[in-house]
Structure 1
Amino acid sequence: MRKLLPFLLCIVILSGCNSELSFIEVSNEGVNKDIQSFINNVKEENGVHLYLDKHKAIYVYLSGANVKQGEKAVHFTDFKVKGNGDTLHILYSNDETTDYSNQSLNHELLYKVNLDKNYENIKAFNNGQEVSFGLISGNQ
């Protein structure tokens, strides 16, 4: 029994170190100054923007808040992340509306993605179509 206890303790400790690919929506005000500065720099550009926070997390900023007169407004309806080998897939969906004053629509969102490993490639998909990132920055 004495030999089994240290073995079980090691298993518990190691299972606590197992990281998982996950994401959470975060507030612009709830992140550090570097990320806030990044958001301020890309705020005028619609699209998907990426901030690499060392090797532990990335921040994905989705912006559709800039609407030209006469055009439809973009709002975001879904967000997911999936690992596929050495490639991280960022999957999001958006829709368009002419209801510019609807406060319940998400015209800009910020997500923190907690990485489970280092990925060689990161690809973004909007409504199932691969898209390019507007700006990529970070503190690698």
Structure 2
Amino acid sequence: MKKKLLASLFFVLALFGVCGMAAPSEALAAEQIGYVNVQKVFNNYPDVRSAISAIDLERQNAQKQFNEQSASLDDNGKADLNKKLSEQVNSKEKEMLGPIQKKISEAIVKVAKAQGIGTVLDSSTIVFGGKDLTEAVITEVAK
């Protein structure tokens, strides 16, 4: 009888010990996920408005050039001109936004590492939990 009681007591203690070890690791795993509102960081990026203005100007110039040159072209010529002008606009976008996107990505990694975060998601994918890194990333990008 004592053996059964001791075995039962040992089983209960072992069960609590396993549960006690599992809970902190689950809490630790939850702490290692962060999220960033990337759109907010982008909108708060210094000089982003001037980059967007330059891209918009490039689009307007491309549209104007298309309107002027397409009148005398057939459908294939219009398609070729449209493709050429679209590539010019895309090139300008990459030129203006590429460095901004790179700096934002680098800031996210830096902030996450500094705060011990192993995984960072965009805030639009978060339903519950995680740590908001948005303001820290905005501060880092502004440096």
Q: TM-score, normalised by structure 2?
A: 0.28
The structure with the largest alpha-carbon Rg is 2
TM-score (normalised: structure 1): 0.28
Greater relative contact order structure (CA < 8 Å, 6+ sep): 2
